[in-house]
């Protein structure tokens, strides 16, 4: 059995990363989401321990101090981070772990885990991104403005990712992410062929 891989997925807030990922993951039982820790308030419909581990600032700082996080970032005034142990426990079992994280965290993982697969999900345009973010309706105006403000900078960093998928048509974006994962699984270094002589 081969080790699982870390799959980094980033993209501006509102681009539709979650929707693309849910479809990709529904077709692939060997993929698991990493559950991040965050200090941001819980949104309607979110479940603690499923969407995030919702923690206060002092608990987050304790995790940092104890080196429990594989990466972390401050995004729109809140802390976000990836608990390392859960990731490594899955990788050892041959399960690949999807990290839906911001660009600051992604750059840290690319450095620390060079075999990670990195995919940036980009919007077809900033106008379309604004329309999608407004349509989501779960984000206060001020927070939305902050997210739109950082989006152009996030898209510039797309060049550092191995792959960029433009989420114009959902099915096309899902197909492209699946194609990337299929190609990565076929890389010779991850294919352990064990042939025995046949008599």
Give the interface with ligand 5GP as residue ranges (CB under 6 A): 13, 36, 40, 71, 73, 75, 80-82, 100-102, 104-105
Instruction: Compare residues 25 and 190 and give the one whose CB is closer to ligand 5GP.
Output: 25
Smallest gap from Cβ 1 to ligand 5GP, in A, equals: 27
Burial of 195 (0-12, 13-18, 19+ CB in 10 A): exposed
Cβ distance to ligand 5GP smaller for residue 104 or 185: 104
CB of 8 closer than 8 Å to CB of 101: yes
For the CB of residue 96, give the shortest distance to ligand 5GP in the complex, in Å. Answer: 17
Nearer to ligand 5GP, 32 or 36 (CB): 36
Q: State which residue, 76 or 95, has the beta carbon closest to ligand 5GP.
A: 76
CB of 186 to ligand 5GP, least distance (A): 27
**Distance from the Cα of residue 53 to its chain's centroid:** 15
First to last CA, the chain: 25
Distance from chain centroid for Cα 88: 16
The residue (of 126 and 183) whose beta carbon lies closer to ligand 5GP is 126
Q: For 31, what's the count of Cα atoms within 13 Å in the CB-facing half-sphere?
A: 20
Nearest-approach distance from CB 39 to ligand 5GP, in angstroms: 10
Q: Which secondary structure element, helix H or strand E, spans residue 32, and what is its range? A: strand 31-33
Nearest distance from C-beta of residue 100 to ligand 5GP, angstroms: 5
CB 63 within 8 A of CB 79: no
* Number of helical (H) and strand (E) elements in the chain, helices listed first: 7, 9
CB-closest chain residue to ligand 5GP: 105
Q: Which residues contact 3 (CB under 8 A, 6 or more apart)?
A: 91, 92, 94
* CB closer to ligand 5GP out of 40 and 113: 40
Beta carbon of residue 194, minimum distance to ligand 5GP (angstroms, whole number): 36
């Amino acid at each position: 059995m081969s080790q699982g891989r870390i799959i980094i997925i980033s993209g501006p807030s509102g681009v539709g990363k979650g929707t693309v990922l849910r479809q990709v993951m529904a077709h692939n039982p060997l993929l698991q989401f990493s559950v991040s820790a965050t200090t941001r308030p819980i949104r309607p419909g979110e479940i603690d321990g499923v969407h995030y581990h919702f923690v206060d600032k002092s608990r987050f700082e304790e995790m940092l101090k104890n080196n429990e996080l594989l990466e972390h970032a401050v995004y729109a005034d809140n802390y976000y981070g990836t608990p390392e142990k859960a990731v490594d426990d899955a990788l050892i079992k041959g399960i690949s772990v999807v990290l839906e994280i911001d660009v600051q965290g992604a750059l840290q993982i690319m450095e620390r885990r060079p075999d990670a697969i990195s995919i940036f999900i980009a919007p077809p345009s900033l106008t379309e991104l604004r329309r999608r973010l407004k349509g989501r309706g779960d984000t206060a105006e001020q927070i939305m403005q902050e997210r739109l403000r950082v989006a152009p900078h996030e898209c510039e960093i797309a060049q550092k990712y191995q792959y960029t998928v433009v989420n114009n048509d959902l099915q096309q974006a899902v197909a492209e992410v699946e194609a990337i994962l299929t190609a990565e699984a076929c890389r010779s270094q991850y294919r352990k062929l064990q042939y025995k002589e046949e008599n």
